[in-house]
């Protein structure tokens, strides 16, 4: 089994939405032993878009190949209607140096602000994970990024849970830190009442290594992904409902971490952590999140000048935030149709808006929102290393705002059914449409 990063080219002039064109590009030349774990458009020019994509590939004899093949995503589904409970999806892309959320849980205040303006806020772990801290509001749903994409594609729904039994897999490369991991598990059980007693150590090192893309994004690869699947399979067989993991991440240099601390480089480990959890969520459809074991102890420059990164320095395994998030993360339920979703489930039909940095409009969740004409609130203040703006993408229903406080106001207006034009000036007059010429005639606007 292999994890590989590839560039996929998407035509500008093709038919259909961006999501449909990206889907066709991902399927071109593919075979039934390859699965796209992630895909995001990272560059757009006059002729084409370039999508950075991570695939898992396997040989015919691979024992987990059949399991992965069964999770291939079909055609995205259309939203059926808007449910009364108004849910917002917040995306803080990993590995692109988000000004807000690109460090250690520093998007959590913005997350809670958005949550205060909605009935439910759905976001992924790195938006709120901060070492020993996870201060997400009670109405925030903690959903792994690939599962969040599948929610936006209409493939899964979320079943709220108040108590999950968490199993933890440990990369044997980090055996020197096993005591700290076990102390974290025991402290979470003793002080927070979290059911997290189960853990498993891999039979071989996983081999997690960072990589950098041509666009400056943090990616990575895993030398033995099947070891992760083995440990997860074992934990689930022993009764785990959710999966956390800790592994050593190789390849981070002192200069890279210093540049990240200074705000000049994405978090080196962010991209590969996402790939690990994407693999787990696609194979097993369970809540999952990951934390890095302290690969940096010898290279991390200790400094207090960037408070966004301060949570990096207050823990060894960085894992309690994961346990707190997974303890009540929603379960994942495949849905056959958005016309008939059980009333206790949260589905695409609940999503009334999506909030994302204005320069990152090429991710699957964003393209799925565009496919379903769901308002996309693009936050300019949250700058990244990318330049995939709506000026380049030309998506429908994009609402451009400067900051997260402004985004929260837009969410509140959408939730309450207040027309945004009504609270802005100048306010235009009503528009008269002339009667159409015949049944198929075009209406003229006066």
Q: pLDDT by residue (tens digit) across 291-327?
A: 998 765 566 656 667 888 888 778 888 999 999 999 9
pTM for this model (two decimals):
0.94
Q: What percent of the chain is modeled with pLDDT above 70?
A: 94
Domains in the chain: boundaries: 2-69
Among 83, 121, 136, CA closest to 347: 83
Residue in the block written with tokens 């044997």: 172
Output the pLDDT for position 227: 97
Q: pLDDT by residue (tens digit) across 248-301?
A: 999 988 888 888 888 899 999 989 999 999 999 999 999 999 999 876 556 665
Q: Cα–chain-centroid distance for residue 158?
A: 15
Output the pLDDT for position 304: 61
- Can you tell me whether residue 178 is helix, strand or coil? helix
Among 316, 404, 342, CA closest to 98: 404
CA-CA distance, 336 to 444, in Å (whole number)?
Answer: 41
Output the pLDDT for position 446: 47
Output the pLDDT for position 310: 82
Q: pLDDT by residue (tens digit) across 188-221?
A: 999 999 999 999 999 999 999 999 999 999 999 9
Of residues 301 and 164, which shows the higher confidence score? 164
Element (H, E) at 237: helix 225-237
pLDDT higher than 60, residue 442: no
Element (H, E) at 351: strand 351-357
Output the pLDDT for position 215: 93
CA-CA distance, 260 to 268, in Å (whole number)?
Answer: 8
pLDDT higher than 70, residue 389: yes
* Least confident among 59-63, 143-147, 318-322: 59-63
């Amino acid at each position: 089994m292999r994890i590989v990063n590839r560039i996929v080219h998407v035509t500008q002039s093709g038919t259909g939405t961006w999501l449909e064109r990206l889907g066709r590009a991902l399927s071109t030349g593919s075979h039934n032993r390859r699965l796209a774990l992630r895909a995001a458009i990272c560059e757009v020019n006059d002729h084409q878009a370039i999508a950075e994509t991570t695939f898992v590939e396997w040989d015919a004899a691979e024992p987990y190949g059949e399991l992965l093949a069964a999770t291939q995503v079909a055609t995205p589904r259309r939203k059926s209607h808007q449910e009364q409970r108004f849910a917002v999806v917040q995306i803080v892309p990993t590995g692109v140096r988000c000004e807000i959320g690109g460090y250690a849980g520093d998007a959590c205040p913005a997350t809670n602000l958005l949550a205060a303006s909605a009935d439910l806020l759905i976001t992924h772990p790195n938006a709120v994970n901060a070492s020993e801290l996870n201060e997400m509001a009670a109405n925030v749903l903690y959903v792994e990024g690939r599962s969040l994409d599948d929610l936006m594609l209409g493939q899964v729904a979320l079943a709220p849970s108040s108590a999950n039994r968490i199993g933890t897999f440990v990369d044997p490369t980090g055996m020197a830190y096993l005591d700290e991991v076990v102390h974290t598990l025991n402290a979470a059980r003793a002080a927070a009442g979290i059911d997290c007693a189960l853990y498993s150590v891999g039979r071989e090192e996983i081999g997690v290594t960072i990589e950098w893309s041509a666009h400056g994004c943090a990616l990575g690869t895993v030398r033995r992904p099947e070891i992760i699947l083995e440990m997860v399979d074992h934990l689930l067989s022993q009764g785990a409902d959710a999966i956390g993991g800790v592994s050593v991440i190789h390849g981070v240099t002192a200069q890279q971490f210093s540049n990240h601390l200074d705000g000049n480089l994405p978090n080196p480990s962010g991209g590969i952590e996402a790939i690990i959890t994407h693999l787990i969520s696609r194979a097993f459809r369970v809540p999952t999140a990951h934390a890095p074991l302290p690969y940096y102890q010898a290279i991390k420059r200790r400094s207090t000048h960037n408070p966004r990164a301060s949570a990096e320095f207050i823990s060894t395994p960085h894992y309690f935030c994961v346990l707190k998030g997974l303890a009540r993360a929603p379960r994942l339920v495949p849905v056959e149709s958005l016309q008939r979703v059980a009333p206790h489930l949260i589905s695409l039909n609940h999503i009334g808006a999506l909030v994302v940095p204005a320069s990152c409009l090429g991710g699957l969740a964003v393209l799925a929102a565009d496919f379903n004409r769901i308002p996309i609130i693009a936050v300019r203040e949250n700058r990244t290393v990318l330049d995939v703006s709506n000026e380049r993408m030309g998506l429908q229903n994009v609402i451009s705002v400067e900051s997260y406080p402004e985004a929260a106001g837009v969410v509140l207006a959408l939730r309450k059914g207040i027309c945004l034009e009504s609270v802005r000036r100048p306010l235009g007059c009503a528009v008269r449409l002339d009667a159409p010429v015949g049944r198929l005639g075009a209406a003229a606007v006066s």
